[in-house]
Amino acid sequence: MGSTRRAYTPEYKAHSVAFVIEGGRPVAEVARNIGVHEMTLSKWVRVARDAAESGKSPDAQLVESERAELVRLRAESRDDKSTIAELRMQVEFAKKVATWFARGSQ
């Protein structure tokens, strides 16, 4: 069966977060009242607070230097993952060789 993930408008999220931040109400209470999972609302509140601290909108576009850094980091991550996969293969091979030598010496 397919997933039935609900989508919320930015206005709905903003109003929900305002109930928590500006209203001083607990996340659990607001989540129950509006019919949203507590963890979902917690994430919205955390994103809004982080955005308020950094002074940036959570949906703001990346500037060119940030985009270049993102591309560089993603490429670096791919390289790291391939290196890790190669090292795992080497470890597995070394284990097989060690087992083979251990059996041969008995």
Range of the domain at 91: 61-106
The CATH number linked to 43 is 1.10.10
Single pTM value for the model: 0.51
Whether residue 2 lies inside any domain: the answer is no
Same domain, 53 and 73: no
Whether residue 1 lies inside any domain: the answer is no
Same domain, 89 and 101: yes
Query: How far, in Å, CA of 54 to CA of 81, rounded?
Result: 31
Read off the amino acid at residue 99: T
Q: Among positive and negative, which fits the CA dihedral 40, 44, 45, 49? A: positive
Q: For 58-100, what is each residue's pLDDT tens digit?
A: 566 778 888 899 999 999 999 999 999 999 999 999 999 999 9
Q: Does residue 56 surpass a pLDDT of 80?
A: no
Query: How far, in Å, CA of 91 to CA of 98, rounded?
Result: 10
